C-alpha cells in the first residue's frame, strides 16, 4: 500500500463520486477505479457500497478513512519536522474564526509568533461559529476562534478573551439621548433589532429578554460587522453586537452603549479537533498562545468583563 492509494481513497470518500474525485486528483477515472479495487483486494474487504449514481462507505470504509486521514497527517508532519531541523520552523497553520474580537486576537498572535518563526505561513477563513466548528471537525483547519453557544463534543477548547455585548444605534436615537454610558436590555425591546445570523444566537438573545418578561423584535440577521454599521446608519434598527464592533466601524454618527441588567459578555474560545494529531508548527503556536496571552490587554479596555483560562 502506498500513500498515493490512501490519497485516492480519501478523495473518493470525500466526493462520494469517482468522476468528481478523478477530476480533483487530475487523473482519469479508470485508473482511479482500479486503484480503489486494488486497495480493497489488499485489505480483503469492500470500502464502498456502489449504488446507481452514488457511493456509500462500508463500516470498513469509515474505519479506514479515519486511519487514512491520520496516516497522511503524520506523513506531512514528519516532513515538516525534518525540514525544520535544518531551516527553522516552517509549515502552514490553517485558522477559522468568527468576527468580533477574533481577527484582532489572531493578528496579534501571528505578528508576535512571526518574529521568532519567519518561515511559517498562515491561511485564515472567516464565518459564524456553526460554520467554523464544522470546518474544525472536518479537518479543514488546525485552530479556530469561536463564540458560544456551541457543542464542545470532539473539541478541545481554551478561553482566550471576553468582552461586553453592546447596543449600536444612531446618535439621534431616543435611547442615545438618555443619560448614562450603559443601557438596560429591556429598553431595547420596543425597537427593531439587528443581530448576528445564528439560530442559536437568536435563542440566546430571546433568553436574555425573557428574564425581564420581554420579547425582542428582530428586524435583520447579519453575518458581518460592516452590515450592522450600514443598517444602523440607515435607521433600520439597533444592532446587538460584541463590543469589538466599535473598533471596526466608524461611529462618529453612531452611539455605542454596553448592555446591562443583565450585563452580558461575549466569550471567545480557541478550539481544535481533539481527535486530530497536530503538526509541530501548530503545537508550537498553541503553546505560544497559552504562555503569552496578555492578562491586562482586555481588562484595561473592558474593566467590567471577565476572562478565564
Confidence of residue 301 (pLDDT cuts 50, 70, 90): very low
309 pLDDT above the threshold of 50? no
* Residue-level pLDDT at 86: 56
- Please answer whether residues 98 and 146 qualify as being in contact, where contact means their C-beta atoms are separated by less than 8 angstroms: yes
Confidence of residue 120 (pLDDT cuts 50, 70, 90): very high
pLDDT digits over 180-235, tens only?
A: 999 999 999 999 999 988 888 888 999 999 988 899 999 999 888 888 888 999 99
Q: Which of 205, 301, 296, 221 is nearest to 259 (CA)?
A: 205
pLDDT digits over 28-51, tens only?
A: 989 888 999 998 999 999 999 888
292 pLDDT above the threshold of 90? no
Q: Which of 235, 214, 185, 4 is nearest to 12 (CA)?
A: 4
Confidence of residue 23 (pLDDT cuts 50, 70, 90): confident
What's the rounded mean pLDDT across residues 243-253? 75
Q: What is the pTM of this model?
A: 0.67
Confidence of residue 261 (pLDDT cuts 50, 70, 90): confident
* Residue-level pLDDT at 306: 31
* Residue-level pLDDT at 76: 76
Using CA atoms, how far residue 68 sits from 3, 135, 204, in Å, is: 9, 18, 39
What's the rounded mean pLDDT across residues 244-248? 77
* Residue-level pLDDT at 83: 64
Confidence of residue 87 (pLDDT cuts 50, 70, 90): low
What's the rounded mean pLDDT across residues 232-247? 89
236 pLDDT above the threshold of 70? yes
Cell of 144: 479556530
Q: What is the mean pLDDT of the chain?
A: 86
Higher pLDDT, 263 or 268: 268
Round to whole Å and give the CA distance between 192 and 20: 46
145 pLDDT above the threshold of 50? yes
Q: What is the DSSP letter of 278?
A: P
**Percent of the chain residues past pLDDT 70, beyond the cut:** 90
Gyration radius (Cα) of the chain, Å: 24
Asked which of 75-84, 134-143, 268-277 is least confident by mean pLDDT, the reply is 75-84
**Beta strands 192-196; 91-97: pairing state:** unpaired
Which domains does the chain carry?
A: 3-82 (1.10.10.10), 88-161+268-301 (3.40.190.10), 162-266 (3.40.190.10)
85-111 core/surface letters (b: 16 or more CB in 10 A; e: else):
eeeebbbebbbbbbbbbbbbbbeebee
Alpha-helical runs (H) found in 154-293: 199-210, 225-233, 245-248, 280-292
* Residue-level pLDDT at 262: 83
Amino acid at each position: 500500500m502506498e500513500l498515493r492509494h490512501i490519497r485516492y481513497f480519501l478523495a473518493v470518500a470525500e466526493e462520494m463520486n469517482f468522476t468528481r474525485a478523478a477530476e480533483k486528483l487530475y487523473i482519469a477515472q479508470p485508473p482511479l477505479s482500479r486503484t480503489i479495487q486494488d486497495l480493497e483486494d489488499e485489505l480483503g474487504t469492500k470500502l464502498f457500497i456502489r449504488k446507481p449514481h452514488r457511493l456509500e462507505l462500508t463500516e470498513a470504509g469509515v474505519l479506514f478513512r479515519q486511519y487514512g486521514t491520520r496516516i497522511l497527517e503524520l506523513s506531512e508532519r514528519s516532513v515538516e519536522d525534518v525540514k525544520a531541523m535544518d531551516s527553522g520552523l516552517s509549515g502552514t497553520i490553517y485558522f477559522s474564526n468568527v468576527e468580533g474580537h477574533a481577527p484582532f486576537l489572531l493578528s496579534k498572535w501571528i505578528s508576535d509568533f512571526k518574529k521568532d518563526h519567519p518561515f511559517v505561513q498562515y491561511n485564515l477563513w472567516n464565518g459564524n461559529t456553526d460554520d467554523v466548528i464544522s470546518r474544525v471537525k472536518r479537518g479543514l483547519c488546525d485552530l479556530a476562534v469561536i463564540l458560544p453557544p456551541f457543542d464542545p463534543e470532539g473539541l478541545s477548547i481554551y478561553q482566550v478573551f471576553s468582552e461586553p455585548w453592546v447596543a449600536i444605534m444612531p446618535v439621534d436615537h431616543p435611547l442615545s439621548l438618555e443619560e448614562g454610558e450603559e443601557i438596560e436590555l429591556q429598553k431595547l425591546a420596543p425597537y427593531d433589532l439587528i443581530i448576528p445570523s445564528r439560530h442559536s444566537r437568536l435563542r440566546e438573545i430571546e433568553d436574555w429578554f425573557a428574564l425581564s418578561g420581554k420579547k425582542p423584535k428582530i428586524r435583520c440577521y447579519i453575518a458581518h460587522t460592516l452590515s450592522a454599521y450600514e443598517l444602523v446608519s440607515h435607521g433600520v434598527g439597533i444592532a446587538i453586537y460584541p463590543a469589538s464592533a466599535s473598533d471596526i466601524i466608524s461611529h462618529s454618527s453612531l452611539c455605542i452603549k454596553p448592555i446591562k441588567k443583565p450585563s452580558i459578555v461575549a466569550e471567545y474560545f480557541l478550539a481544535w479537533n481533539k481527535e486530530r494529531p497536530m503538526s509541530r508548527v501548530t503545537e508550537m503556536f498553541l503553546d505560544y498562545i497559552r504562555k503569552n496571552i496578555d492578562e491586562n490587554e482586555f481588562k484595561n479596555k473592558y474593566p467590567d468583563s471577565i476572562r478565564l483560562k
